[in-house]
Amino acid sequence: MANLQSHIIWTGDAIADALADVLAAPLSAELQQNLAVRGVSIDTRSLKKGDLFIALPGEQADGHDYVAAALQAGAAAALVEHGRDIKNLSASDNLIVVRDVMSALEVLALAARARSTAYIIGVTGSVGKTSVKESLRNALEKSGAVHASEKSYNNHIGVPLSLARMPDNCQYAVFEIGMNHAGEIDALVKMVQPHCAIITEIGTAHIEHFDTMEDLARAKAEIFSGVIAGGAAILPAASPYLDLLKAQAAACQIDNIVTFGSADSVNTGVQALAEKVKLHPSCSCVSAKILADQVTYKVGMSGAHHVQNSLAVLAGVSLAGADLALAALSLADHDGLVGRGERHYLHAEDGQYVLVDESYNANPTSMAAALTTLGLAPRNGRGRRIAVLGDMAELGDQAVDMHIQLADIIAEAEIDQVLTYGPLSHHLHEHLPADCMAYHANSLADMTHHLLRDMRAGDVVMVKGSNASGMGAVVDALVQADESAAAQSAQERG
C-alpha cells in the first residue's frame, strides 16, 4: 500500500501546468524545477513542512497576513493574489502569484481530479456524513491507498481543498459534501465527479432554508448531477423521499441504484439489507446481505443509526471492488469520532462514569438517534442515563415544536435526568416527563458546575447540541476537570 503521507502530490511543473490560465506571473525556472509539495494548507496552525500554503482572504482573517509565518514554518511555497502587499518576505521566498486565490484553489482541485485514477465516493445527507466518510476511509484502506476529506471539510472551501490534497497514486478517495441552501451541492459535486454518490439520511437539518422537506431532499439529490457516466447511487431504503431520490438519480442517467436498510423497517428488494441486528450498550452486531455477499460483523458503537451507516459503507466498498470481508472487520474499530459519539471514561467520587460526546452538531433526526441510543445504556448500580442538551439551530418556524417533541423520545428511552441550555431547549425543559429529573442551566459554566457536583459511578452522560449552542465546551470542561484531578492525585501520591 502506498504511503500517501510522504508522497509528493504537486511538483513545480505540475502546478505550472494546472494553474496556467490563472497565473498572474510565470513561476520562476528554479521554482518550477525544484518545487515539491507534500500537502496543501490554509492554516498556519496546522501547516506541515512541505505544504503549499493557500493565502485565502476571509471575513475574519486574510491568509496573506500569514504568508511569511507559513514560509518560516516550512511551507514549500505560498499561493498569493497579485497586487497584495505581503510583509516580511525575502527575495528567495517561493511565491506562486495568481489573479484570484479562491479560483486558483478550485482550478488546482479540478486538476487533481482530472489526473486521478481512484474510485471516488461522494457522501451527503442530513446526518451521518462524517461518520460514513471516516468508516469508508478505514474500510477501504484495507484494500489500498485511500484519500479522504479531513474533519468535516464539506463546503465551498473544504471540498476543493480536499481535492487539491489528493495524491495521484491513491486507489480510493472519499469526499464529504455538505449544504445549507439549494445549489450548493451541485457546484461542489461537479468538482468531485464521484463514481458513487451516497445519501445517508434526510432529516430536518437546515429546514429553515427550504419551503418543504421535498425541496430539501431535492437539494441533497443534487449530488447525482456530478456522478460520472456509469456511476451508482446508494440510498436509504426507509426514507420517505426514496421515490423522489430515485427519480432525481434517473434524471441524471444513473441506472445503478443500491438501497440500504434493515429487514424490520423496509420492504424486499433492498440490496444492502441488515437481516439480523442486535444492539448492545457499546456495540451493534449485524448479519447482512451486501449485494451478492453475506457478511456478519460488529459495529463498534451502539445504535440503529450506526447500523444503517454501516450498510451504506459496505455497499460503497462493494461497488468500489474492494475487499468486503476486511471492510466488515474494520467496522468493529469504529468507536466514535470527536463530537460524534466519542466515549470518555471519567471519574466521580465513588467510581467511574461514561461521557458520550455528541456535541459536534444536532438536528431532530440526530438528536432522536442519540437519545434512543442513550436509552440502551444499562443502569449499573446507582447509575443514571443523563442527557445534556443544547439548542438545535436552523429549524425555522418549527423550532419550538421540534424541541418539545423530544420529550416523547426522552420518555420512551427512559432517560433519568435531562439538563438543558438555551432558549429553545427551555421549551423542552418545560415539557419533560414528570418522572424525569430536570435542570435548566443559565450558562454553560452553570451546567458544567451542576454536572461536576452531581456525577456518580455508573452514570452515562450524553452531551449534544448544535454548534451554535457551544456544548463542546461542556465536554471539554468535564474532561479537563478529570485530567486535573488525576494529575493532582498523582502529585499527592508522588
**Could you tell me the CATH number of the domain that includes residue 53?**
3.40.1390.10
Helix (H) or strand (E) holding 110: helix 101-115
Q: Is 110 a domain residue? A: no
Q: What is the pTM of this model?
A: 0.85
Of 126, 170, 133, the closest CA to residue 151 belongs to 133
- 399 and 433, same domain (yes or no): yes
Map residue 463 onto helix, strand or coil. strand
For residue 273, the domain's CATH number is 3.40.1190.10
- 21 and 153, same domain (yes or no): no
* Crossing angle of the two packed helices 213-220 and 184-192, in degrees rounded to 10: 20
At 10, which amino acid appears?
W
Report whether 158 contacts 152 (CB < 8 A): yes
CA 486 to CA 494: how far, in whole Å?
12
The string of DSSP codes covering 82-108 is: TT----S--TT--EEEES-HHHHHHHH
Contacts of residue 93, defined as CB under 8 A and 6 or more positions apart, other chains included, come to 68, 71, 78
pLDDT, residue 314, reads 98
Map residue 380 onto helix, strand or coil. coil
- 474 and 455, same domain (yes or no): yes
Q: Is 207 a domain residue? A: yes
Q: Is 108 a domain residue? A: no
Map residue 207 onto helix, strand or coil. helix
C-alpha cell at 336: 466514535
- 301 and 430, same domain (yes or no): no
Map residue 417 onto helix, strand or coil. strand
- 41 and 71, same domain (yes or no): yes
**Residue 138's CB: how many other CB atoms inside 10 A?**
16
Tell me how far apart the 2 most distant CA atoms of the chain are, in Å. Answer: 75
- 137 and 80, same domain (yes or no): no
pLDDT, residue 1, reads 41
Please give the tally of structural domains in the chain.
3
Q: Is 315 a domain residue? A: yes
Report whether 302 contacts 288 (CB < 8 A): no
CA 215 to CA 133: how far, in whole Å?
25
**Residue 420's CB: how many other CB atoms inside 10 A?**
25
Of 310, 285, 275, 302, the closest CA to residue 198 belongs to 310
CA 406 to CA 372: how far, in whole Å?
10
- 30 and 55, same domain (yes or no): yes
Q: Is 389 a domain residue? A: yes
At 171, which amino acid appears?
Q
Report whether 109 contacts 160 (CB < 8 A): yes
Distance of CA 376 to the CA centre of its chain: 24
- 95 and 125, same domain (yes or no): no
Which residues form the domain of 422? 342-493
Q: Is 276 a domain residue? A: yes
CA 41 to CA 386: how far, in whole Å?
40
Q: Is 376 a domain residue? A: yes
- 18 and 36, same domain (yes or no): yes
Q: Is 237 a domain residue? A: yes
- 77 and 148, same domain (yes or no): no
Map residue 169 onto helix, strand or coil. coil
**Of 298, 333, 368, at which residue does a domain stop?**
333
pLDDT, residue 267, reads 62
62: β partners: 57
CA 352 to CA 375: how far, in whole Å?
19
> From the CA atom positions of the chain, what is the Rg in Å?
24
- 485 and 459, same domain (yes or no): yes
Q: Which residue has the cell 439520511?
A: 201
**Of 271, 298, 333, at which residue does a domain stop?**
333
**Of 333, 365, 381, at which residue does a domain stop?**
333
- 92 and 147, same domain (yes or no): no
pLDDT, residue 494, reads 64
In this structure, are strands 284-290 and 272-279 parallel, antiparallel, or unpaired? antiparallel
Report whether 432 contacts 403 (CB < 8 A): no
List of the chain residues with pLDDT < 70:
1-6, 91, 267-268, 494
Helix (H) or strand (E) holding 219: helix 213-220
